[in-house]
Amino acid sequence: MAQEWEIKALGHVCAGTQEPFADGQPLISCLFRGEEGYERRDYSEAGWEAAPKEGVVSFWKTIYRAPPPPSPEPLKKETAETLLRQYMTKEDFSRINAIYILAVMLERKRILLEKDVQTREDGAKIRIYEHKKTGEVFTIPDPQLKLTELETVQAEVEDLLGFNAPEEPASSEAPSA
C-alpha cells in the first residue's frame, strides 16, 4: 500500500528558537518521523545544536532565501471602481473619455461584464455593464475614441488615479562654472 507524504515547504522561523530567518542565513532542514508521519523542521545553526535528534530520518544544510515581496498591483481595483462610481453618481460626463476607459479597465479586471451595446438614433453608442459581484448596472457612453486620442486619455486617467506624482521643481540656481 502506497503512502502519501505531505511535507511542508521551507519554514520562515527556526523550529528551535522561534526567531525568523534572515535572507542568506545558513540553516539546517530535517525530516523526522512524527506521530502523523514525516514532518519537516528548519533550524538556525544555533537552534540545530540544541534540537533533539531522535526520530530524525534525514537532514541537510541549506541557505534561507526570503520570498520576494508581493509585487504591487499596477492598478488598484477599488480606486478605479471608486472613481467610476463617483463620476456616474454625479452624472459628470465632462470626463466621458476617462469614464469609458475606467469601465474598460474594470472589464479587463473582470469586475464589470459588458451585457449589451445600444445605438441611439443619433448614432451614439451606449455600453451596458453589469458589476459581477453586486449586479449593479452601469450605462457608459462610448466616446468612439480614435487611436490618436488614446495617449491623452491614458495620461488623464493616470492623473485621476494618482499614478503621475508631481515632478520635483527644477532648481532656479544657475550652474556654477
3 state SS of 152 = helix
Report the chain's mean pLDDT, rounded to a whole number: 82
Q: What is the pLDDT of residue 168?
A: 46
pLDDT digits (tens, 9 = 90+) for 64-108: 998 888 777 665 555 888 888 888 887 766 788 888 888 888 998
Beta strands at 56-63 and 26-34: parallel, antiparallel or unpaired: antiparallel
**Cell numbers at residue 65, please?**
532565501
Q: Is the separation of the CB atoms in 64 and 24 below 8 Å?
A: yes
**Cell numbers at residue 42, please?**
528548519
Enter the pTM of the model: 0.48
> How many Å apart are CA 126 and CA 120, to the nearest integer?
8
Residues in contact with 115: Cβ distance below 8 Å, sequence separation at least 6, in sequence order: 128, 129, 130, 137
Task: Kindly list the distances between the CA atom of residue 71 and the CA atoms of 45, 67, 75, in Å, as whole numbers in the listed order.
Answer: 31, 11, 11
